Amino acid sequence: MSLFRRTFLQSLAGAAMVPALAGRSVSAETHRQVRVATGLLAMWQSTAWLGAEAGIFRNRQIDMRLTGVAIGGPQAADGVIRGEYEFAHTGVLPVAEEVLKGNDIVILATPTAEFPNQFVMTRREIAELSGLSGKRVGVLSETGQTSVATRIAIEKAGAIATYVPLTRFDRIYAALAAGEIEAGVLPVDLRFVGASRYGWNAFPVHEFGTPSIFASTRKLIASDRELVMNVMRGFVETIHLFKTRPDIAVPLLQRYLNIEDRKAADALYAYHVPVFQKVPRPNLGGLQNVRDVLAAKYPAAASLKDTDIADSSFIDELEREGFIDRLYSDRR
């Protein structure tokens, strides 16, 4: 079966509530609408979508809407700042850069630990990254965290390539399969598929030692902290669902990622389960790498601290009150 037989919009249109988690019935008028953007269409940035589809946020009287999916990390961060979205899955780098510009955006959680999740995939005949000099490489955007990390990996190999922004991983995959580019950055979701089907070579991309993040604004926190806390409760509950209910999570994520092969979906799920964090406290261990990347453009980057770009108080509170431990102690 074709990996991309159904389009992404069709998969969203067919979404249905999971009865097992529907819980109490609440009038639609009482729900607070919350808009979310994702930089990437990837399993590690699926938490808000999964929670919405599984009914977790609905049970918390939140109408969670993914109104900007796979729009690019910088665009997701910018949309939060401009008020198009209340929350975003994106990378640490776009958030750090916006804070250094003086804009309001703050990291609330890191759903996963850092792990090898993206690869530069090259056509069969290009066996080393150094062979990409003068070649076309598909990336998501010109300035996003994944794209910057891809450039760094290729340049460290001694190659000067031409970068083609294609916005989404499925477009990069299709362009590489069609021969429109010689290489492209792809997630682990597509890394094994490309190697098996086309004989592509894979080279891991190391993203500064920082994971993807979930962000909002300090303005929203100040004006409606209870809403933000409620969203974070649902966020943590969704991670619990992901880690403990493959019967619910895998079929939903198959639709989200357009993966029709259940065996492939099960393998990807198993790969991701250990990296999703029970306690998704903002963990920015690779911040020095981010400082180094931004220092030439923003002198203040040299003194950038975790607390400048992250607020761990929500996860701290959920852990302190025993909310997270209770979730896992009630595990089936």
| 233-285 pLDDT per residue, tens | 999 999 999 999 999 999 999 999 888 888 878 888 998 999 999 999 998 87
Helices (H), 73-132: 73-81, 92-100
CB neighbour class for 30 (10 Å; exposed up to 12, middle 13-18, buried from 19): exposed
Sheet holding 118-122, edge to edge: 162-165, 136-139, 183-187, 118-122, 201-204
CATH topology classification for 8-114+210-329:
D-Maltodextrin-Binding Protein; domain 2 (3.40.190)
Q: Which amino acid is located at 91 in the chain?
A: G
CB 88 within 8 A of CB 37: yes
Q: Which of these ranges, 26-35, 78-87, 98-107, 173-182, has the smallest mean pLDDT?
A: 26-35
Report pLDDT digits (tens) over 162-188: 999 998 889 999 999 999 999 999 988
Instruction: Quote the mean pLDDT of the chain.
Output: 88
Q: How far is CA 36 from the centre of its chain?
A: 12
Which of 113-127, 184-198, 199-213 is modeled with the greatest confidence?
113-127
What is the pTM assigned to this prediction?
Answer: 0.78
Phi/psi at 124 (nearest 5 deg)? -50, -40
3-state secondary structure of 158: coil
Task: Note whether 8-114+210-329 and 118-204 share their fold.
Answer: yes
Q: Is the CA virtual torsion 3, 138, 82, 216 positive or negative?
A: positive
Domain spans of the chain, in order of start: 8-114+210-329, 118-204
The CATH fold of domain 118-204: D-Maltodextrin-Binding Protein; domain 2 (3.40.190)
What is the per-residue pLDDT for 67? 96
Alpha helices in the chain (DSSP H): 8-13, 19-22, 47-53, 56-59, 73-81, 92-100, 145-156, 169-177, 188-198, 218-223, 225-244, 246-257, 262-272, 287-294, 306-309, 313-320, 323-329
Question: What is the model's pLDDT at position 24?
Answer: 41
